[in-house]
Amino acid sequence: MHPYVEVAKRAVERYVKYKKMLDTPKELPSDMQRSAGVFVCLKKHGELRGCIGTFLPCEENIYKEIVRNAIAAAKKDPRFYPVQEDELDEITYSVDVLSEPEKIGDISELDPKKYGVIVVKGYRKGLLLPDLEGVDTVEEQLRIAKMKAGIDPAEEDVEIYRFTVERYK
């Protein structure tokens, strides 16, 4: 198990069992000292059980970002009821570390297998990670991201950003 995934798993287990945050070690590995947006996704029997993240960093380092988003995925994803202690052995984790988003000028610059997307219209923002099962076209990727943002899928006047992820399982 990758160290990022181990942090997510330990954070969720500690919070679900004891309602305590995972402490940050005094000596963090150098790769966990950098800051980046992070998504943590939980699955149970191959089905999504929670997924929360940040496309820009909210914490001072990746370690804290993973802890924060892992707990949010387990307890605060509005699509699911909170993870319970008796489920912990059945949950698998993935951690996506996001590159900085870059604004694109044309949808020809997108590829749903390679890039995630962020759509923005006013204060509304929708994000969809790359390489998701069942999302095979740019049009489908943008439609889902717009729906997540509460933007009419037919709306064409939106800002579009792309990003890549380093995915750890």
Q: Which amino acid is at 57?
A: P
Q: Are residues 91 and 114 in the same domain?
A: no
Q: Are residues 13 and 81 in the same domain?
A: yes
Q: Which two tokens stand for residue 31?
A: 């790769």
**Which of these three, 64, 80, 98, is where a domain ends?**
98
Q: Are residues 41 and 71 in the same domain?
A: yes
Give the orientation angle of helix 3-18 with respect to helix 62-75, to 10 degrees: 50
Q: Tell me the CB-side half-sphere exposure of residue 50, using CA atoms within 13 A.
A: 26
Q: Which two tokens stand for residue 99?
A: 């590159």
- pLDDT tens by residue, 39-49: 999 999 999 99
Q: Are residues 12 and 74 in the same domain?
A: yes
- pLDDT tens by residue, 59-107: 999 999 999 999 999 999 999 999 999 999 999 999 999 999 999 999 9
**Which of these three, 80, 98, 116, is where a domain ends?**
98
Q: Tell me, what's the pLDDT at 38? A: 98
> CATH number for the domain including 74?
3.30.700.20
Q: Are residues 94 and 106 in the same domain?
A: no
**Which of these three, 98, 113, 145, is where a domain ends?**
98
Instruction: Look at the chain and report how many structural domains it folds into.
Output: 2
Give the pTM.
Answer: 0.92
| Host domain of residue 87 | 3-98
Average pLDDT, the chain: 97
Q: Are residues 49 and 82 in the same domain?
A: yes
pLDDT band at 52 (very low <50, low <70, confident <90, very high): very high
